[in-house]
Amino acid sequence: MSEVLLQIDGKQVAAEEGMTILAAASSIGIAIPTLCLHEKLEPYGGCRVCSVEVESRGRSSVVAACLYPVEKDLVVTTRTDKLDRIRKSLLEMMLAHAPDSPELQKLAQEYGANKDQFEKEASFCIHCGLCVRYCSEVKKANALGFVNRGSKKEISFIPEIAVKECWDCKECFELCPTSALQAAYVLIEALTSPPEPSTPSCVGKCSR
């Protein structure tokens, strides 16, 4: 792997080709906030709080540090007024879902985000996808996934798989930055509990 020289917050950094901006920044002690990143998982780029400004070949743009690969002579700025505005607003949007999440509250304090900026939402999920991706990438179980799209998108366990895989695992629980996952799991737990063996009226009629 060849080395790439770039600049982050005014400091020269030597990074390995293929490394992300986030990793390169971290290597020189610059911390960039993240919510959907996990060391065991492929970067996802969903929460966008790791947004940084880059300047490359005379063009400046906002990119996700967790995904954007280092480039030769890239000039990266990890904290500007614009980035602060973006992070604040993203946090406010997520706080509408999960106002009590400690992780969100901590960042909210740093960026001055108001948890009451937007009307509260019924779902606690911020769609970081940690549970879904962990189950798929690490556990290879695919017991839960996303259903629907856009603002209707939600996480959902697949009962047939969950009933077999989840009882002894539950590793995704502690990944969740809000309490949505537990709620969903409890629901599915109830749904997939074996029924009481007291109604044999349909035996033989619907055997598949």
- The answer to whether 65 and 78 are in contact (CB under 8 A) is yes
Tell me whether residue 109 or residue 114 sits nearer to another protein (CB atom). Answer: 114
The only residue of 8, 30, 108, 126 in contact with another protein, by rule CB under 8 A = 126
The only residue of 11, 72, 85, 120 in contact with another protein, by rule CB under 8 A = 85
Asked whether position 23 contacts another protein by CB under 8 A, the answer is no
Tell me whether residue 4 or residue 63 sits nearer to another protein (CB atom). Answer: 63
Written as one letter, the residue type at 36 is C
The only residue of 140, 152, 205, 208 in contact with another protein, by rule CB under 8 A = 152
Asked whether position 46 contacts another protein by CB under 8 A, the answer is yes
Q: Which two tokens stand for residue 169?
A: 């695992």
In the stretch 106-125, what mask flags binding to another protein with x, by CB under 8 A? Answer: ------------xx------
Cα 191 to Cα 62, 160, 162: the distances in Å are 44, 11, 11
Phi first, then psi: give them for residue 14, nearest 5 degrees. -100, 120
Asked whether position 158 contacts another protein by CB under 8 A, the answer is no
CB of 11 to another protein, least distance (A): 23
Asked whether position 75 contacts another protein by CB under 8 A, the answer is no
Strands (E), the chain: 3-8, 11-16, 51-56, 59-64, 75-77, 144-147, 154-157
Q: Which of 151, 178, 180, 34 lies closest to 95 in space, CA to CA? A: 178
| CA pseudo-torsion sign 57, 75, 36, 95 | negative
CB of 20 to another protein, least distance (A): 10
- The answer to whether 54 and 60 are in contact (CB under 8 A) is yes
Residues that bind another protein (CB under 8 A): 44-49, 51, 61-64, 67-69, 82, 85-86, 89-90, 93-94, 96, 118-119, 126-127, 146, 148-153
